Every structure is written in C-alpha cells, then in structure tokens.
Amino acid sequence: MSPAPTHEFIPPGSRFHALRSPFPMKRGGALLDARIAYETQGTLDAQRGNAVLIVTGLSPDAHAAANDADPVPGWWEGMLGPGKPIDSDRWFVVCVNSLGSCKGSTGPASIDPATGAPYRLSFPELSIEDIADAAAEVVRGLGIEQLACVIGNSMGGMTALALLARHPGIARSHINISGSARAMPFSIAVRSLQREAIRLDPNWNGGGYDDDTYPESGMRIARKLGVITYRSALEWDGRFGRVRLDEQVVPGEDPFGLEFRSKATLEGHARRFVRRYDPNCYLYLSRSMDWFDLSRSRRWRRARRAGADQGRTRPGHRRQHRHPVSGAAAAGGGRGPGPRRRAGGLPRHGFAAGPRCIYGRPGTLRPGGAGFPPRALIRLHWKHSANGPCPSLHAGPSGPPPPCISPARTG
C-alpha cells in the first residue's frame, strides 16, 4: 500500500476495511481500492447482537476512546469505555471514520491509485449517502447483520439517518445528537462562508497546496466560524462575558489582537485545528452536509404520506426533525419539554428512526431545563419508542433518565 500523504492524520490504532471496488458514488463516479478506517471497543457476543455503531461529525477520527491498540484518550473518552455511558463491557462498539475524511478513510487527501498522486479536487462528488453506504459495508464486513444501535452526532446524525433510510433493518434503535434530517438555510449559509474563506486564501491554489504553501488563514477563519455556531449567544455570554485578557495594550503588539477571552478561545480552537485537517477534505465534507435532505428519500416520502394520512404530522420550523426513516408513522407535535404519549403509541415529539428510537425536541436533554450541554449526557436511555421501552446503554447503577436526545442543528 502506498504511504500516507502528508495531509492524512491516521491514529495508530486504526483498522481498515476495504470497500468493494469500484465503490459507486451517489452523484456519479466511483472509487477504486477505497478503504474505511475504524476502531472497536468491547467484545461481540455469540449472537452478534450487541454491536453499536458510532458515526462521527466532520472532524473526528475513529479513535473515540483509548484502547489496547492506542492508549491515548480519544475524542469521546468521557462517554465510551468500561462502566461509562456507552459501556464497552456490555456493548461491542464500532466507530468509523467518514469516507472523504483525512483521518484514515479514503478522501481527497488520499492517493489516487490511477495516478499515484493525491486525489485533491479529482475526488468524486461526495454525499452523506456515500458515507452511510461505506459505514454499512464496515458493519457487514464485521459479520454484523443488525446493530443494537447506531449513534450519530452532528454530521454523523445525518449519516445515521441516511444509513437507516438506505439500509432498512440495519439497526434496532438510533440515538441522534445534534443531527438533522436536512441542511437548514442558516447552516448552509455559514458553511458556504467557511468554504469561501478557504478557497479565497491564495495558498489554497485551486486545491494544490503543500506544507510550504498551506491555506492556514482560510482554515483558521473557517474553523472560527464553525466554533461560533457550536454555542448559542446565551452560552457565549454566560461562559465568557466581556472578560478581557489584558486591560492594557502593550506597545508594539497588534492593537486589534486577542483583547477579549472569547476571541482568544476562537483563536485557540483554530490553531489546534488548522494543521490537523486537510482543507480539501473539509470542503468536500462540508458540501456533503449542504446537499443532504432526507425528504428526497423515497422511503421517507412513503412513510411521510402514511403519517399525514393518519393526522400525525404538524409543520413547524423547530420541529421538523420528525422524519420516519424505517416505515414508522411520523410523530405529531405537542406541548411541554418532555415526550408525551398519544393514542397511536408514539410520543408527541420526535422522529421515528426505526423499530426503536429516541424521541424529543431540541433543548430537552436536561430534566426540566433547556440547552444541550455535553456534561448532561450522563446516561443514554432509549425509553420512549413505538415498540415500548428499550434498555439503557449504561450497565451501571440505575437512575432517573434524562429527557430524550433529539436533533438540534446541522453543523
């Protein structure tokens, strides 16, 4: 196998699944000798029924938590592992790196076997559906017919919904964290600015940059724009306020520099990111989110019509993530911060994502409160579903479950 290009960043514990070759892409074209990077935690039981799939956001790799192959803490260390909310003593957890990424899976930074050079902008147009199909191949390649659960956060929430829609029956349940059934105009607008910042950097050079001429300024601005949207205006105010780093401007320093703590936070995120992610991969994955719209799925449209015929749907901008993706009827609207049951057995809030799924509406993760702080993810319960209660992913002490997790944004 060809050595990894400079702009691929592959965790040492990564394993690889070879995709079928050619691997067809939804919007045309195909990949030859493509692969998907993944890592596993836990043990697959004899029935192969305890598998949980994690599909990630735009930037994470497959190293969600420390393991024997790579003891370095992962990006979801607090959530995954023995005795943790996603308990690897109970579940066999597979985390895949997205197709199109630069963290081990084939993407624009990878070597094109036809030329021996990186794909760059010759990489085929990438869609969320392609990422989902590639993840499904990993699952099948591990001999797993049906997952106990598929978990998707941020862009991974889109991937998870596409996976359920395109591969019916692949999972018994689904947890969607800050995902979306389609890209909303605000998110599309922000991502367009991120991509424009990269492309307008002279060092981007039509995608032909290298280490010496790297579009660092464009990547810094793109990352800062993204980080701004990851928190609400109220959270920015509560966490940083108008705290200044230094009341006095030092002579000779940039008079427009890092004066406020909020600006320093953005700069810190940007500096940690720019040289650890390939700009072309960023462009491709960002655009794939803009294109995603689950309502274009034939299966979704059939189920949506069925739900409308039963009078279970209600329009609304903030409640439009109620899309059935496995044939179940759409859940209707309702009042209050938590799920409500109705005559048809479906809670009033949420979307149907399979035989068992999570229901809820944005901002209902904490008992009795709004917001979506990561620290509130203490225990993941699948309590409210069309087919009755589901077990918690946590095998530890019992306790009152938080209200359901539901899609909130598309970033």
pLDDT value at residue 251 = 59
Residue entry with tokens 């591990």: 142
Predicted confidence (pLDDT) at residue 388 exceeds the cutoff of 60: no
Is 26 inside a domain boundary? yes
Predicted confidence (pLDDT) at residue 411 exceeds the cutoff of 70: no
Average pLDDT over every residue of 7-19? 94
* 120-162 pLDDT, tens digit each: 999 999 999 999 999 999 999 999 999 999 999 999 999 999 9
Whether residue 200 is found in the same domain as residue 285: yes
Whether residue 36 is found in the same domain as residue 116: yes
- Per-residue pLDDT band for 316 (boundaries 50, 70, 90) equals very low
Domain boundary among 94, 115, 145: 145
Is 259 inside a domain boundary? yes
Is 94 inside a domain boundary? yes
- Give me 396's structure tokens: 């530890």
More confident residue, 169 or 409: 169
The count of residues in the chain is 411
Task: Check if the beta carbon of residue 356 is closer than 8 Å to that of residue 382.
Answer: yes
* 92-129 pLDDT, tens digit each: 999 999 999 999 999 999 999 999 999 999 999 999 99
Predicted confidence (pLDDT) at residue 33 exceeds the cutoff of 60: yes
- Give me 336's structure tokens: 């209050």
Whether residue 139 is found in the same domain as residue 190: no
DSSP bridge partners of 35: 18
pLDDT value at residue 261 = 86
Torsion angle, CA of 170/173/178/183, rounded to 10 degrees? 40
Domain boundary among 248, 276, 291: 291
Quote the CA–CA distance of 306 and 301 in Å, as a whole number: 9
Task: Check if the beta carbon of residue 153 is closer than 8 Å to that of residue 141.
Answer: no
**CA-to-CA dists, residue 351 to 221, 245, 284, 366, 386, angstroms:** 35, 44, 28, 19, 10
pLDDT value at residue 350 = 32
The pTM is what?
Answer: 0.74
Quote the CA–CA distance of 233 and 253 in Å, as a whole number: 29
CATH number where 57 lies: 3.40.50.1820
Predicted confidence (pLDDT) at residue 365 exceeds the cutoff of 70: no
Domain boundary among 276, 291, 306: 291
Is 284 inside a domain boundary? yes
Q: Which of 9-18, 47-56, 238-247, 333-342 has the lowest mean pLDDT?
A: 333-342
Is 401 inside a domain boundary? no
Write the single-letter amino acid at 56: T
Assign residue 207 a region (left: φ > 0; alpha: ψ between -120 and 50; beta: otherwise): left
Task: Tell me what percent of the residues of the chain surpass a pLDDT of 70.
Answer: 69
pLDDT value at residue 257 = 74
* 161-181 pLDDT, tens digit each: 999 999 999 999 999 998 999
Task: Check if the beta carbon of residue 406 is closer than 8 Å to that of residue 380.
Answer: no
Is 118 inside a domain boundary? yes
Predicted confidence (pLDDT) at residue 38 exceeds the cutoff of 70: yes
Whether residue 139 is found in the same domain as residue 242: no
Whether residue 220 is found in the same domain as residue 122: no
Whether residue 138 is found in the same domain as residue 219: no
Whether residue 47 is found in the same domain as residue 139: yes
- Give me 137's structure tokens: 């191949």
More confident residue, 62 or 370: 62
CATH number where 192 lies: 1.10.1740.110
**Buried b or exposed e, range 279-299, using 16+ CB within 10 angstroms:** bbbbbbbbbbbbbbebeebeb
**Helical segments of 110-260, H only:** 128-141, 155-166, 185-200, 216-229, 233-240
DSSP string, 197-237: HHHHSGGGGGGT--SSS--HHHHHHHHHHHHHHTS-HHHHH
The kind and range of the H/E element at 14 are none
Whether residue 25 is found in the same domain as residue 110: yes
Task: Check if the beta carbon of residue 135 is closer than 8 Å to that of residue 163.
Answer: yes
* 170-212 pLDDT, tens digit each: 999 999 998 999 999 999 999 999 999 999 999 999 999 998 9
**Buried b or exposed e, range 31-64, using 16+ CB within 10 angstroms:** bebbbbbbbbbbebeeeeebbbbbbbbbbbbbbb
Nearest to 287 by CA among 212, 193, 200, 385: 193
Range of the domain at 268: 186-291
* Burial of 4 per CB tally in 10 Å (0-12, 13-18, 19+): middle
Whether residue 279 is found in the same domain as residue 196: yes
Predicted confidence (pLDDT) at residue 252 exceeds the cutoff of 70: no
Task: Check if the beta carbon of residue 56 is closer than 8 Å to that of residue 32.
Answer: no
pLDDT value at residue 373 = 30
Task: Check if the beta carbon of residue 248 is closer than 8 Å to that of residue 302.
Answer: no
- Per-residue pLDDT band for 300 (boundaries 50, 70, 90) equals low
Whether residue 31 is found in the same domain as residue 106: yes
Whether residue 19 is found in the same domain as residue 141: yes
- Per-residue pLDDT band for 259 (boundaries 50, 70, 90) equals confident
Nearest to 11 by CA among 96, 78, 90: 96
- Per-residue pLDDT band for 363 (boundaries 50, 70, 90) equals very low
- Per-residue pLDDT band for 295 (boundaries 50, 70, 90) equals confident
- Per-residue pLDDT band for 299 (boundaries 50, 70, 90) equals low
DSSP 247: S
Is 390 inside a domain boundary? no
Predicted confidence (pLDDT) at residue 263 exceeds the cutoff of 70: yes
* Burial of 28 per CB tally in 10 Å (0-12, 13-18, 19+): exposed
Is 64 inside a domain boundary? yes
How many domains are contained in the chain?
2
